[in-house]
């Protein structure tokens, strides 16, 4: 049985050095994925952007690649492969990338909305870890997906915070789906797959190498509406996620801290350059206006009336006067609203 177009795409994703741009050039030159795959060396070197080295590499690797076996391998690791040919399953947000993945390996359920990426140093301070956990917990409790990279430090705490809130979290890996890195996070990866999803674009043939991580980071940015940097040095690899996010028009936030600490140099630099200053999770909730609807849906009639006047900036005694509700009830309702962290600005008491 011959390969389908989907099979050829999985096969091309397994080749070193082939991404969407080079593959597009090959298909434009040969007319189809099938003809591009079977082209000989002399034809391959004629394709713009390929060259001698890559043409030889393609020819030498092709005999070792079987996309049918690759799909069986993914299934044996409780994963499925989604290609960019699949219009319904492939995340639409990834199509906006300059180089969207040809194929994705997925364990769990893909998010149905953009989330918040919480990222930072692997060698985070205890303060940074606490902040990452707290922000993730709060945001996830509102149903916002928390996206991170499964690394030690900030990433780990972001995932843990989201899981503790019974929320949805996405781990984007820079390794094959069966190779959790670091190994200490194997159990965490299983919990994430059960309560959210793990995603990677790297096939079973991929080895762990430094260049995979910046490539991974662009997916983290693409899956997030806002990116929160908790701790990062001035030359942190975390900042490649920020760069990818800026290219996509994402909101960038950073948590300030001790001006003398090296891991706050990067966050302070981002704030100087225009990133939002995040003191509390409520600062980021402003990027998700739909969350206010969620809160209102859980309020009874009296609570909704108090909420209306509260958002208009009325003082508690004025709300008592306007609603006729007891002072104690109004004050209790306002306290509950403030604890729930409604992401709306107030104009000041009238």
- CATH class, domain 107-285, is alpha beta
Residues of the chain with pLDDT under 70: 1, 290-300, 311-312, 336-350
CATH 3.40.50.620 fits 1-65, yes or no: no
Q: Are 200 and 225 in contact (CB under 8 A)?
A: no
d(CA 75, CA 84): 19
SS (H, E, C) 190-223: HHHHHHCEEEECCCCCCCCCCCHHHHHHHHHHHC
What percent of the chain shows pLDDT beyond 90? 67
103-108 and 251-254 as β-strands: parallel, antiparallel, unpaired?
unpaired
Query: 107-285: same fold as 1-65?
Result: no
Helix (H, G, I), strand (E, B) or coil at 315: coil
Q: Are 180 and 327 in contact (CB under 8 A)?
A: no
Report the phi/psi class of residue 111: left, alpha or beta, with left for phi > 0 and alpha for psi in -120 to 50: beta
CA distances, 245 to each of 98, 104, 159, 259 (Å) = 12, 20, 20, 25
The predicted pLDDT at position 76 comes to 98
Q: In what order do the strands lie in the sheet with 224-229?
A: 80-83, 103-108, 197-200, 169-172, 146-148, 115-119, 224-229, 251-254, 276-277
Q: What is the pLDDT of residues 316-350, one digit of tens each?
A: 888 888 888 888 888 877 776 665 544 433 333 33
Q: Are 340 and 299 in contact (CB under 8 A)?
A: no
Q: What is the pLDDT of residues 140-185, one digit of tens each?
A: 988 999 999 999 999 999 999 999 999 999 999 999 999 999 999 9
Instruction: Provide the residue ranges of all domains of the chain, joining segments of one domain with +.
Output: 1-65, 107-285, 291-339
């Amino acid at each position: 049985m011959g390969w389908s177009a989907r099979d050829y795409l999985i096969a091309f994703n397994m080749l070193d050095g082939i991404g969407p741009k080079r593959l597009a050039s090959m298909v434009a030159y040969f007319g189809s994925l099938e003809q591009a795959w079977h082209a000989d060396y002399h034809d391959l070197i004629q394709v713009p952007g390929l060259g001698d080295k890559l043409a030889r590499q393609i020819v030498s690797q092709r005999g070792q690649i079987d996309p049918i076996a690759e799909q069986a391998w993914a299934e044996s690791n409780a994963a499925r492969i989604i290609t960019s040919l699949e219009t319904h399953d492939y995340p639409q947000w990834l199509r906006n990338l300059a180089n969207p993945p040809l194929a994705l390996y997925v364990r769990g359920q893909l998010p149905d909305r953009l989330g918040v990426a919480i990222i930072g140093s692997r060698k985070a301070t205890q303060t940074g870890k606490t902040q990452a956990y707290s922000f993730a917990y709060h945001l996830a409790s509102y149903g916002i997906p928390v996206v991170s990279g499964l690394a030690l430090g900030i990433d780990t705490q972001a995932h843990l915070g989201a899981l503790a809130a019974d929320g949805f979290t996405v781990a984007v890996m820079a390794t094959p789906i069966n190779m959790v890195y670091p190994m200490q996070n194997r159990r965490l990866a299983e919990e994430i797959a059960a309560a959210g999803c793990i995603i990677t674009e790297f096939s079973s043939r991929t080895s762990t190498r430094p260049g995979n991580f910046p490539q991974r980071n662009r997916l983290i940015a693409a899956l997030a509406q806002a990116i929160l940097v908790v701790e990062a040095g001035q030359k942190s690899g975390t900042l490649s996620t920020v760069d990818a996010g800026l290219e996509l028009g994402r909101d960038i936030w950073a948590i300030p801290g001790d001006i003398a600490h090296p891991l706050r140099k990067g966050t302070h630099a981002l704030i100087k350059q225009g990133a939002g200053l995040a003191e509390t999770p409520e600062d980021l909730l402003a990027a998700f206006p739909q969350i206010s609807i969620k809160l209102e849906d859980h309020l009874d009639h009296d609570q909704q009336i108090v909420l209306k006047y509260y958002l208009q900036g009325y003082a508690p005694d004025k709300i008592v006067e306007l609603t006729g509700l007891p002072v104690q009830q109004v004050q209790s309702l306002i306290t509950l609203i403030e604890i729930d962290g409604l992401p709306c600005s107030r104009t000041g008491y009238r």
